[in-house]
Amino acid sequence: MKTLASVVGIGLLLSVGGARAQSDSALQSDPRGWLDLLPGVSLRGWTRVPIPPGKAPDPVSQWKVDPVNRFLVCEGTGGHEWLRYDREFTDFIFHVEWRFTKRAGAKGYNSGIFVRNSADGVLWHQAQVGAGSGGFLFGDTLVDGAKQRINLSSQLKENRVKEAGEWNTYELRCKAKTVTVWVNGAVTSECTTCDVPKGYVGLEAEGYRIEFRNLMLKELP
């Protein structure tokens, strides 16, 4: 989704104050206890959800699984939507590795990784994915019980996202009211007042071919 200029400042905190020391991913640090969410070729356990909610979905799926390389592939040919894993989670870490397929002359590469979404996507929390840009949180969440747009793009202090064609690693950590984004070795964005206690994880299709691998999730106590 495209970023918006407005920022809701109440209770939002970006805790990166500049470049951070490199750190291992949570998956690297402790590979025990993770769920492998990569679907089979039937995509069973995942559901396509249109964006915006209520729009008629494209009749032909743009999602497929490459079982040899163990990639989930979005061809970027079927309109704006997200692919939802069909189980809700509360506190967890969602580990995703991704890369855009580079196209000559292409600009504006765009996708996202979702956590704590409602089933229909009315409420959503996204880590922005771009080519050489992204890594910040934005979405439509609850603020004092009412739906409100948040956007932490202006608070981003360090861009760690690689260019199209290169692999990136994101980890989104949800614990109580805090949602943290870790990108390629360091935290880049954090919200400390998420009033949506649980929801669905997912991946966004927005007109560009993108490959995902190592879709791993670890529930937190």
Q: Where are the domains of the chain?
A: 26-219
Q: Would you say 92 and 220 are in contact if contact means Cβ atoms under 8 Å apart?
A: yes
The rounded distance, in Å, linking the Cα atoms of 218 and 27 is 9
Look up residue 157 and give its amino acid.
Answer: K
Q: What percent of the chain has pLDDT over 90?
A: 85
Q: What pLDDT score was predicted for residue 17?
A: 42
Q: Report residue 5's pLDDT band, with 50, 70 and 90 as the boundaries.
A: very low
Longest dimension (CA), the chain: 47
Query: Can you identify the CATH homologous superfamily of domain 26-219?
Result: Exo-inulinase; domain 1 (2.60.120.560)
The rounded distance, in Å, linking the Cα atoms of 55 and 40 is 27
The rounded distance, in Å, linking the Cα atoms of 64 and 160 is 28
